[in-house]
Amino acid sequence: MRYSQSLIPTLKETPAEAVVASHRLLLRGGYIRKLTAGIYSYLPLGLAAVRKVEQIVREEMNRAGAQELLLPMVQPADLWHETGRYQKYGPELLRFRDRHDRESCLGPTHEEVITDLARREIRSYRDMGKNLYQIQTKFRDEIRPRFGLMRGREFIMKDAYSFDVDDEQSENCYQLMFDAYKRIFTRCGLDFRPVEADSGTIGGSFSHEFMVLADTGEDTLVICSSCKYAANMEKAAVKAPAADDAPLLDLEKVETPGKRKVAAVCDFLDIDPSELVKTLVFLADGEPVAVLVRGDREVEEVKLKNQIGAVEVEMADDKQVYDATGVPTGYLGPVGIKVKLLVDSEVAAMKNFTVGGNEKNYHMKNVNIGRDFEGTTVADLRQITKDDPCPECGAPITLREGIEVGHIFKLGTGYSEAMEAYYKDRDGEEKPMVMGCYGIGVSRVVAAAIEQNHDENGIIFPMPLAPVQVILLNLGINDAEISKVAESLYAELQEKGVEVLLDDRDERPGFKFKDADLLGIPLRVTVGKRLTKDGVVELRQRKDGSTEELTPEQLSDRVLALIDSAMKAAQ
């Protein structure tokens, strides 16, 4: 590829809209351009990087026995009505009517379409054990697209769906995918962790997310320092403490004028937030529920949602709290409360704690469960913290930020039953297909790779994802000798299978160096004055800035060796 013929519009300055590194650098490097909110064009270099990810994904999916196909992006609403998701999915599903007034939608995911295909084409247990995947543009009308390729409305995704005869076979497939995903992200050269995850709206019984570790990640991961445990924070179980066996003290109502915040109440009563229990009200599918957690804890809404089987949970605002309980926020407590009450297991183990008095300007001290109120449900409802022990082995844990690049689910028979995707087993009996689904955010992988690998000068692509492996700078466009060597190295490297971008622009050296760094191409070859002076060209590695001088004859072997070792390192 010749720079002069390609479209690589690099920018010296950062567009104001870009906040995170990957977005900034993809724009500056001329990899992508925004068309409208959350929708981007992939320019030649951006597409090249995407293709690298796709290729690795393809190879590993095929190796794991999956078959590639391509499903439609425009889908009839009827199919979505069958699973009930036409209503459930919400405004994220872009709906429209075609010229015949048929309700349609743009596919945000393809369970319905693939299940429809499976029920039509697969009838016998002999045909089962299929895993079908596609790499395709998805559209989700995200409430808030942001961070460039990290969270677009339109994005490239690999999604696979498996159809098995029973749980055991389905589990085998899940494990196969788990291993394939580990290989995929390793081959991409990324630092990642598979973690236990909540299965979200797609449903299903069990799932793992694959997280690229990066400070800009939108998820928090819990990683055990000792055992293999790793989980998304929203899923990470908190170990219930042993019950406090202190003797029960007498209930006491105290005046706390104007003290509404945990900090203010504790300060006023001279107690620690860990001795206070706060009562928070949530709206679960519109219904108010109260949750008790310790004053210094946070409610994990995902746990709450799963506990009560709600589709949506949100914190109630002051007015909603008052409407539901008749008590202003800040003084709410469990004693005599009017809404459904859930108790975090940590609180259930406490004795003689302080709560709101369910009356303006009052709190209650020495409150005890069982004596003063009944908790209808006791469950793990709070967010884990870095001071909590590993739920598996009890060792200390660490919290890290991560970017979700892959998610695998065991779906069970939910979709197949809803859509009547049955097969006949050996005994001629009709049975629902057992499904799994496995996604990878292909375009997001590119962004995540950059979040994890960049410096102040630009991108530092891992070799396997780099749009090209080598950038070859001709610093003497108007010098016959330099140009001749640059051209012959360009030809030679390509002949040997190396991907090369030849910078043949009539620009000053500094300009080319800056662009080369910005683009993040792993290897840079410079042909310039040192050739005419000393007969050498320079080979520089983007990742550590190390340089070596070689004769033009030595260059290609050295380049091949470096590429080879970089690719082997990511195996």
Per CB under 7 A, contacts with RNA among 84-103 are 92
Task: Please say which residue, 278 or 365, places its beta carbon nearer to RNA.
Answer: 278
User: Taking CB under 7 A as the rule, does residue 46 contact RNA?
Assistant: no
Task: Please say which residue, 348 or 550, places its beta carbon nearer to RNA.
Answer: 550
Report the helix count and the strand count for the chain, using DSSP H and E.
16, 31
In the region spanning residues 308 to 337, those forming contacts with RNA, defined by CB under 7 A, are 312-314
Residues 526, 486: Cα–Cα separation, whole Å: 8
Task: Please say which residue, 372 or 479, places its beta carbon nearer to RNA.
Answer: 479
User: Taking CB under 7 A as the rule, does residue 152 contact RNA?
Assistant: yes
User: Taking CB under 7 A as the rule, does residue 510 contact RNA?
Assistant: yes
Out of 30, 107, 145, 330, name the contact with RNA by CB under 7 A.
145
Burial of residue 32, with CB atoms counted within 10 A of its CB: 0-12 exposed, 13-18 middle, 19 or more buried: buried
User: Taking CB under 7 A as the rule, does residue 142 contact RNA?
Assistant: yes
Residues 66, 440: Cα–Cα separation, whole Å: 14
Stretch that binds RNA, among 4-12, 51-59, 98-106, 332-340 (CB under 7 A): 4-12
Half-sphere exposure of 26 (CA within 13 A, CB side): 34
Residues 73, 135: Cα–Cα separation, whole Å: 11
What ranges in 29-149 are assigned the alpha helix state H? 44-63, 77-83, 85-88, 111-121
Q: How wide is the angle at C-alpha 308 spanned by C-alphas 304 and 309, nearest 5°?
A: 105
Out of 265, 332, 517, 556, name the contact with RNA by CB under 7 A.
517
Task: Please say which residue, 30 or 357, places its beta carbon nearer to RNA.
Answer: 30
Task: Please say which residue, 364 or 527, places its beta carbon nearer to RNA.
Answer: 527
User: Taking CB under 7 A as the rule, does residue 269 contact RNA?
Assistant: no
Out of 52, 119, 151, 235, name the contact with RNA by CB under 7 A.
151
Tell me, what amino acid is at 480? A
Count of Cβ atoms closer than 10 Å to residue 359 Cβ: 17
User: Taking CB under 7 A as the rule, does residue 38 contact RNA?
Assistant: yes
User: Taking CB under 7 A as the rule, does residue 201 contact RNA?
Assistant: yes
Torsion of CA 446, 448, 453, 458, to 10 degrees: 60
In the region spanning residues 52 to 91, those forming contacts with RNA, defined by CB under 7 A, are none
Tell me, what amino acid is at 137? T
Identify each DSSP E strand in 413-513 by its residue range.
422-424, 430-432, 434-441, 454-455, 458-459, 470-474, 500-503
Task: Please say which residue, 90 or 241, places its beta carbon nearer to RNA.
Answer: 90
In the region spanning residues 476 to 495, those forming contacts with RNA, defined by CB under 7 A, are 476, 478
Cβ atoms of 230 and 222 within 8 Å: the answer is yes
Q: How far is the CB of 319 from RNA (least distance, A)?
A: 12
Tell me, what amino acid is at 83? T
In the region spanning residues 397 to 456, those forming contacts with RNA, defined by CB under 7 A, are 404-407, 439-441, 443-444
Out of 275, 339, 513, 570, name the contact with RNA by CB under 7 A.
513
In the region spanning residues 334 to 393, those forming contacts with RNA, defined by CB under 7 A, are none
User: Taking CB under 7 A as the rule, does residue 33 contact RNA?
Assistant: no
In the region spanning residues 211 to 240, those forming contacts with RNA, defined by CB under 7 A, are 218-219
Half-sphere exposure of 122 (CA within 13 A, CB side): 28
Q: How far is the CB of 414 from RNA (least distance, A)?
A: 15
Out of 99, 120, 144, 426, name the contact with RNA by CB under 7 A.
144
The SS3 of residue 486 is helix
218: nearest Cα among 27, 386, 451, 409: 451
Task: Please say which residue, 145 or 464, places its beta carbon nearer to RNA.
Answer: 145
Phi, psi (rounded to 5 degrees) for 484: -65, -45
3-class secondary structure for 527-551? ECHHHHHHCCEEEEECCCCCEEEEC
Residues counted in the chain: 571
Site string for RNA, 103-122 (x = CB under 7 A): --------------------
Stretch that binds RNA, among 146-154, 181-189, 280-288, 390-398 (CB under 7 A): 146-154
Task: Please say which residue, 29 or 295, places its beta carbon nearer to RNA.
Answer: 29
Kindly state the helix (H) or strand (E) to which residue 411 belongs, with its residue range: strand 397-412
Out of 509, 551, 557, 569, name the contact with RNA by CB under 7 A.
509
Task: Please say which residue, 92 or 430, places its beta carbon nearer to RNA.
Answer: 92
Number of residues that bind RNA (CB under 7 A): 72
User: Which residue's entry shows tokens 């470096």?
Assistant: 562
Q: How far is the CB of 401 from RNA (least distance, A)?
A: 12
Q: What share of the chain is helix, strand, coil (3-state, %, to 5)?
A: 35, 30, 35
Stretch that binds RNA, among 149-157, 169-177, 236-244, 268-276 (CB under 7 A): 149-157
Count of Cβ atoms closer than 10 Å to residue 334 Cβ: 23
Residues 222, 233: Cα–Cα separation, whole Å: 6
Task: Please say which residue, 67 or 547, places its beta carbon nearer to RNA.
Answer: 547
Out of 140, 187, 235, 294, name the contact with RNA by CB under 7 A.
140
User: Taking CB under 7 A as the rule, does residue 47 contact RNA?
Assistant: no
